[in-house]
Structure 1
Amino acid sequence: MAYLTQPDYVKYKCSCGQLKPITSLYFCRHCLKIRCGFCICHEVDSHYCAYCLENMPSSEARLKKNRCSSCFDCPSCFHTLSTRATLAQPRQDPAAGAGGDGKVGDGKQAKRVYYLSCFNCRWTARDVGIPDQPVASGGWPERTSPHATRVNQLLDYYKAVLQQEKQEKIEKERKKFAVRGKYITLTDKTGLTGAMARSIAGLPPAEGSSLALAGFTPAVASEEVDELPEDAFTKEVNLNQITSMPQRLAAPEWQPTQVSRLHPIAKLLSVKRSQRCRACDHNLTKPEYNPGSIKFKIELLAYYHVPEVKIISCEMVRPGGKSTLLLKLANPTPHEMTLKLLQPSEVPIEEEKEKVDKDTSLEKSLDKSLKIEKQEPSWNPREPPTVLTQITPPGVTLTLAPRDDAAEYDDDARHEPSHIILWRKSNKLALRLELSTALSAAEGAPARAALALQYSYRNTVPQPGAPPDRDHALRATLLLDLGTVGAAGL
């Protein structure tokens, strides 16, 4: 597409204030708002293997530890392993000898066996002593983690602790409604469980508690450390026989130190996810269930609903001077669209307060987890980005024709005798705008201009119980990157 050839010179303001290119935004046709990646929730629809396209439910994927049982990655270079076939000659009985017709022993024929091989680094399963298998798919030996017993004990312990805390919470709620007029204890106000209170006080766990039920033995630190071998500093090191850090971390259960102990790594499963709007909880994207399909059942991307703005050319921006900016506008919808250019100050700070309710603990924890990632360019209504260049919008209403896929192959552009509109072609038009730069702009500073669009949108899927009017007047705020401010007087 054409927008892939142009960097993100034009960024749109999301409803939360983030500045993103139009290809990274979504449009909720129920809220009629632009949403970015921080304004949506992600849900896992299905798990599948990207190599063999095997689809499996979430419960089965959890049992298989989110790994495919028939596809493997190379432990040396991490490319996908392929299955190769070969003929295995049967063992010959020395007492039987060869017959007069040249057949072996009892007349046995060679059997076809299979092994794993990497076409990239030439690593094979035979290098580490994995026996060949009689079938091509499945049946490969699985290694058991040496810490499997301890991990299972930890899982059983925490399950018992969780079950007991749930039971204590239920009993506490029951007592709260059963007993009236009594003083609220510290544990009632802070939510401190009985097991936690006994642990803080240094008392042994109560009989029948999770610690006793799980039969869990806590780990004890030992002061004794195994000594290094005598030849640790004198033995010559062969780097070809020692694994690298990525190879060790790819198998955290074993972390092999020798190349001869590398084993195939089961391929991780991929997921198909759907995305929902945080405000109204409606789907924004929902893929097909079939893992071999790349189509979507629902795909509410902003690129298909919000008018696209691209920069054709811009003259050198100089302090205190005026220049010309050429923009191209496109209507992505199958309906006629009316468009008007405004100053960002003319857009009311409306529904900016229509933020998602973040009083719940889930939203608070999510906001904390995204705190670092959200340190990106944003548009704060109280402190907007520094804009050194002012765009003079024309006081006219523009009309954009609906999108027509057949007209994309028409190369004829219609030129109009206007000082504003340069040409029209299908659902696109080119505009000539005037720029004025502040006199205080320093040479080399980023030249940025802000612009607001007021466009008409026809909602083809209105909400139940909504008014019958399907046409809406929406607004979008843009920030244009025009390069840097040049020297004055040139």
Structure 2
Amino acid sequence: MAYLTQPDYVKYVCSCGQLKPITSLYFCRHCLKIRCGFCICHEVDSHHCANCLENMPSSEARLKKNRCSSCFDCPSCFHTLSTRATMAAQRQAQDPAGGDAKVENKQTKKMYYLSCFNCRWTSRDVGIPDQSVASGGWPERTNPFLSRYNQLLDYYKAIAQQEKQEKLERERKKFAIRGKYITLTDKTGLTGAMARNIAGLPTSESGSSAAIASFTPSQASAEVDELPDDVYTKDVNLKQITSMSQRLASPEWQPSSVSRLHPLAKLLSIKRSQRCRVCDHNLTKPEYNPGSIKFKIELLAYYHVPEVKIISYETVKPGEKSALLLKLTNPTGHEMQIQLMQPEDLPPVEEREEPKSIEKSLEKSLNLEKDTSSYRAIERVAELGSSSRVTAPEATLTLAQRDDAAEYDDDAQQDTSDFILWRKSNKLALRLEVTTDAAATPGAPARAALALQYSYRNTVPPAPAAPQQAHHTLYTTLLLDLGVVSG
């Protein structure tokens, strides 16, 4: 017998066919489907620094190259640098009488430098002078190839703008119908570029053409700097040479020696919201405050789909039956009816989810194939080789609603049923029987497929024009990992 508490031993089949644990899935309350990371689109809500919690808009973050101006990372071990204070004495002043004697100035001034508490690296190690202010004012190095970089950036922006204009022209000619016009500009023949010319504004096409015309391509050179004479005879000190990760952390300079390491401006973090690709409703939406870890919307499958865990199982042998103990949990605040089924007994889905626009179809084509029919789940389980079959009881199980106060009650109610071990609040333990195929190869993974039919009460307020049903019967497919087939 083996006791398993890891959630990866029980994986749910997403509506697109992917296998994920319940902690990595989402549940859309509008289309009533389980979604994984491939079935959602991500949107950046805000940028902030994880160290000082400074919040900034997207335009400002773009100008700062997604880096914080007051927080730095250690270039040696990449931990956050701390500002240390020290008392520095001022220089000695000359004698006011004009003699050669010097008068000591006992006044001291507080100075600041950066230090790493992990590897003890300091900004003094590379010759960065101490600053008189604690935040900001640290010297910034100028990239020697900045002008060339800006020229390349403008060139590729012009190329992208030109390709976008050509794409819009092709789409306009493709969907143009004689006598019918999509927009007013198609009827009058007034394009966006002509409107900007009439208004006296500079056109983007002229700027793109100028950037392309003034671009100077790079020229290959056969002249290569020669290696120093002592490159093969000089002793190598690994403590003075930077590692590959340290060089790639500063792609502009790529320092080869430790003495040229400079503090790295800390990268900004983001708060993102996630939407369902089918119905465009939010699945998760965090609070705007960077110091808050709460969510305005948090539609995780862990809070809406019944959770299945493996308590224990017997050794799986070919052609024999073994016992399997499962625990079912109702995470919702309403009573839930659950029935165990076989994956092939699931009713077929009549309608498939199709994208609503061309952009969504393009995004869908770039990812894995999305198929919401129940047969896709059966095929997915067959691809992984389900060598065992769970004997599911025909009875309907009733799970009580979630009660946080009942978590402190240690008394579990024993049940007289043949397959129910105990009940406790919103939890239920089952004793099932697993039959392994006689043709199973010893040493191969032992997997068993199982389907759940459960009731769900939708708490989304219905729209006035289209009343929505509150009670639904939903289905999901599981894949249980029972170790390996014993010989």
Determine the structure 1 residue equivalent to 2:413. 414
**Residues 128, 260 of structure 1: 8 Å contact kept:** yes
Q: Would the aligned equivalents of 2:312 and 2:325 in 1 still touch at CA under 8 Å?
A: yes
Cα deviation 1:389-447 (Å, max 9, x = unaligned): 22221111111000000000000111121112111100011112222222222322222
The structural deviation recorded for 1:384 is 5.0
Amino acid in the other structure paired with 2:119:
C
Identity of aligned residues (%): 71
SS at match of 1:327: strand
User: How far apart are the structure 2 equivalents of 1:174 and 1:323?
Assistant: 65
Kept after mapping to 2: 8 A contact 1:17/1:379: no
Secondary structure of 1:293's partner? coil
Question: Are the structure 2 counterparts of residues 362 and 476 from structure 1 closer, same or farther at C-alpha, using a change threshold of 3 Å?
Answer: closer
- Alpha-carbon spacing, 1:379–1:78, altered in 2? closer, same or farther (3 Å): farther
Matched-pair contact (CA < 8 Å) for 1:160–1:214: no
Letter in 1 for 2:316: V
Secondary structure at the counterpart of residue 353 of structure 1:
coil
Contact 1:19 1:379 in 2 (8 A): no
- 2:292 partner amino acid: S
- Number of the residue aligned with 2:467: 467
1:354–1:174 distance in 2 versus 1, CA, 3 Å: closer
> Deviation of residue 382 (structure 1)?
9.4
- 2:29 matches 1:29: yes
Alpha-carbon deviations, 1:345-366, whole Å to 9, x = none? Answer: 1102315832546965873586
TM-score, structure 2 normalization: 0.84
- Structure 1 unaligned residues grouped into runs of 5+: 98-103, 181-205, 372-376
Change (3 A) 1:179 1:30: closer
Partners of 1:413 and 1:424 within 8 A in 2: yes
Aligned residue in 1 for 2:449: 450
More displaced, 55-64 or 466-475? Answer: 466-475
Letter in 2 for 1:129: G
- How far residue 468 of structure 1 moved from its aligned partner, in angstroms, is 4.3
Q: How many residues align structurally?
A: 451
Q: Distance in 1 between matches of 2:170 and 2:53?
A: 49
Q: Is the 8 A contact 2:161 2:208 kept in 1?
A: no
Mind listing any 5+ residue stretches in structure 2 that lack a counterpart?
179-204, 371-375
Amino acid corresponding to residue 73 of structure 2 in structure 1: D
Aligned partner of 1:483 in structure 2 is 483
RMSD: 3.2
CA distance in 2, matches of 1:178, 1:460: 44
Deviation by residue 1:60-112 (Cα, 9 ceiling, x = unmatched): 11100011101111111211111011111111124349xxxxxx848662111
- State the partner residue of 2:132: 134
Is contact 1:275–1:284 with CA below 8 Å preserved after alignment?
Answer: yes
Is residue 49 of structure 1 aligned with residue 49 of structure 2?
A: yes
Q: Letter of the aligned partner of 1:12 in structure 2?
A: Y
Separation in structure 2 between the aligned mates of residue 370 and residue 384 of structure 1, nearest angstrom:
15
Provide Cα deviations, 1:296-341, integer angstroms capped at 9, x if missing partner.
1111110100001111122222222222222111100000011111
Deviation of 1:385 after TM superposition, in Å, equals: 3.7
Cα–Cα, structure 1 residues 351 and 136, in superposed 2: closer, same or farther, change >3 Å?
Answer: farther
Distance in 1 of aligned mates of 2:177 and 2:350: 46
Q: Give runs of aligned pairs for residues 197-212 of structure 1, distance below 5 A.
A: 210=209
Shift, 1:282, TM fit: 0.6
Q: Which residue of 2 aligns with 1:12?
A: 12
Mapped to 2, the partners of 1:109 and 1:370 lie a distance apart of 73
Distance in 2, Cα, partners of 1:175 & 1:218: 34
Separation in 2 of the partners of 1:449 and 1:402?
28
C-alpha spacing 1:75/1:370, structure 2 compared with 1 (3 Å): farther
Q: Deviations over 1:6-36 (max 9, x none)?
A: 2511111100111111111110000100011
Residue 182 of structure 2 corresponds to none
2:118 pairs with 1:120: yes
Question: 3-state DSSP class of the match of 1:407?
Answer: helix
Output the CA distance in 2 between the equivalents of 1:176 and 1:399.
57
